[in-house]
Structure 1
Amino acid sequence: MYALKTASAASGVAECAAVVARAGPAVTAACSEFARTLGTAFQIVDDVQNFASGPIQKQRGEDLAAGKVTFPMAAALRALDPERRSRLAEIVCSPALRQAPDGCAEGIALIEAAAVLEPCRRRAITMVEEAWRQVTPLLPPSESKILLHALCLKLVDLAEDV
């Protein structure tokens, strides 16, 4: 799902940059795959942030209210006991329930009760760290490489209230 969303754009940009830099096929493929992983991880963090509250977040629970099944929501559905899983699925599948303030709040509470938000965020960070370990031997040492690594880690470590 995410590979066709944010990740595909990131992958395409990385592939173009590698071509412009006259990188070989192996480096081009590795950069494209790294960017795909970064895009996926970023989307996971963005979806986790959708359940946080704070000054930079969109409307809390906006994805739930829209009926978007996100990585954290899928993780919550797997983690909850059958009764709460059924209730969350009912909320997600019912536009009337998920768009009503009380229904959306109940859905958010169920996702929070599943205790999956922080593990999802950590998973995103781990994905980027593992992908970096794969691509870093192919890139020459440089200030740009150091800055790219720092930027990528910052992009997936945006948690404030999770």
Structure 2
Amino acid sequence: MKKWHKITLEFAGPNVSEQDNYNPFINYKLNVLFTHSKTKATYLVPGYFAADGNAENTSADSGNKWRVHFSPDEIGLWNWKASFIKGNYVAVAKTNKTGLSAGFMDGQSGSFEVNATDKRGPDFRAYGRLQYVNKPYLRFADQGGYFIKAGPDSPENLLSYADFDGGFKNDGFKDNLVKT
């Protein structure tokens, strides 16, 4: 595991469906607290219901996989501890003092060692995550340079061309535009 690289923790939790009346997206809350062993830097990272763990390929809407992603900003030993609670609308509650233990991964803990990144050049993991610094542009956390985005983004509808992103999208322009 390396600095600035995504680290994913996957847990086996309750077998639920996004179609359930007791919806996993609002009635369960997974948080993982990551703490650096020396600097004591801490991050509370929310997790999510990941269905069967491969829903992007299977289109599954049920399963027992729960995930959290973390991108460490320091090398060294990181400790983690999971909190998994359940209750009506607990995921959107304004306080963390609600809900009951949902069992499964609640209270589990562990640690992992993070080494320096091996990325160079245009790979953003060489520069660190982007941070808002109260200026017009985001700044890289490690290298300090600013990220200046250029281009129209997706969907590529700048010229109302039919073959960008799989088809022409009506973007409010009148029909008298020249379409190529």
TM-score tier after normalising by the smaller chain length = under 0.3
Give the structure, 1 or 2, with the largest relative contact order (CA under 8 Å, sep 6 or more): 1
Counting strand residues as a fraction of each chain, which structure ranks higher?
Answer: 2
Give the greater-gyration-radius structure (CA).
2
Structure-1-length-normalised TM-score: 0.24
Structure-2-length-normalised TM-score: 0.23
